[in-house]
Amino acid sequence: MFAQTRNTVKTLNEFSGALMNNVKAMGETANEITLAFSQIAASVDSQAQSVNDINNSMFKSNDEILSVSEASTSMRELSSVTVDTSNQGNNEVDVLAEEFTKVGADIADTVTLMNALNEQTNQIGVILNAINEISSKTNLLALNAAIEAARAGENGKGFAVVADEVRKLADSSRQSTEEIALILNEVQGKAENATNKVHSMQNSFESSINVTKNVA
Domain range summary for the chain, segments of one domain joined by +: 1-82, 99-216
Looking at residue 169, its pLDDT comes to 79
Which residue ranges of the chain lie beneath pLDDT 70? 1-97, 99-100, 156, 205, 208-216
| Cα 34 to chain centroid, rounded | 81
CATH tag for 99-216 (out of 1.10.287.950, 3.40.50.10680, 3.40.50.10440, 3.40.630.10):
1.10.287.950
Looking at residue 37, its pLDDT comes to 45
Looking at residue 17, its pLDDT comes to 54
pLDDT averaged over every residue in the chain:
66
Looking at residue 120, its pLDDT comes to 80
CA distance 81 to 176: 72
Query: Residue type for 98, please?
Result: E
- What's this model's pTM, rounded to 2 decimal places? 0.45
Do residues 173 and 131 make contact, with C-beta atoms less than 8 angstroms apart? yes
CA distance 76 to 16: 87
